[in-house]
A and B are shown apart, each in its own frame.
Chain A
Amino acid sequence: QQQVKQSPQSLIVQKGGISIINCAYENTAFDYFPWYQQFPGKGPALLIAIRPDVSEKKEGRFTISFNKSAKQFSLHIMDSQPGDSATYFCAASDLQFYGNKLVFGAGTILRVKS
């Protein structure tokens, strides 16, 4: 119930291409879905986040698509660049009951080839 399943485990994309990472959840009480980017040896940094009352949110080259009925959400990175090569984590939280406690997906290692 508390799990967030993330796929793929790793992804190789050509420079300029679109990177797509998917996550699925079971707990319908989750009401906050952030994506984090992590470089080796660093802490995660918030990329973009969405609430379930909207189906899409875009910030620059990063877009979250959210499908409430399917209990799935995805991250799209447009015009992927070598500097985007990092590990990406989706997460979810039940803000009402558990506050800011996040449940993380397993992570996706993205490599953008130049």
Chain B
Amino acid sequence: GAVVSQHPSRVICKSGTSVKIECRSLDFQATTMFWYRQFPKQSLMLMATSNEGSKATYEQGVEKDKFLINHASLTLSTLTVTSAHPEDSSFYICSAPGAGDTQYFGPGTRLTVL
């Protein structure tokens, strides 16, 4: 099946710094990708829809200036957490729709902000 990768898998940063997370579709092209965050023992919460060649669409309550999304090509979307704070510590997961209706998820990135 289709593969979605994320990099890095884990990142630890100091409060106030910015962190970039990459999401790549390895063997298919994706004009749309989705970014989720997941707190321990909770469900996935959709943050935004990343659109290749245009602005991302953010869900209600998600700060677009804090979570910058860039969909630079048909296989790459990036999420930058700007001025990270401890409350931004979470598991960030991206997904991309493949053939048919199937959506493929990346392995996730564990962000810890000290």
Contacts and interface: CB of A to CB of B under 8 A. Distances in A.
Given A43-B106, A45-B105, A49-B102, A100 B32 contact: yes
Contact-size category for B: 20 to 34
A43 B34 contact: no
Contacts of B43: 89, 104-107
**Residue with the highest number of chain B CB atoms closer than 10 Å, among A34, A46, A105:** A46
B78 interface: no
Given A43-B93, A44-B44, A100 B105 contact: no
Interface of B is mostly: strand
Contacts, number: 55
Contact of B34 (A34, A46, A101): A101
14 contacts: A32-B101, A41-B110, A43-B6, A43-B108, A44-B93, A46-B103, A99-B32, A100-B34, A100-B101, A101-B34, A101-B46, A102-B34, A102-B103, A107-B43
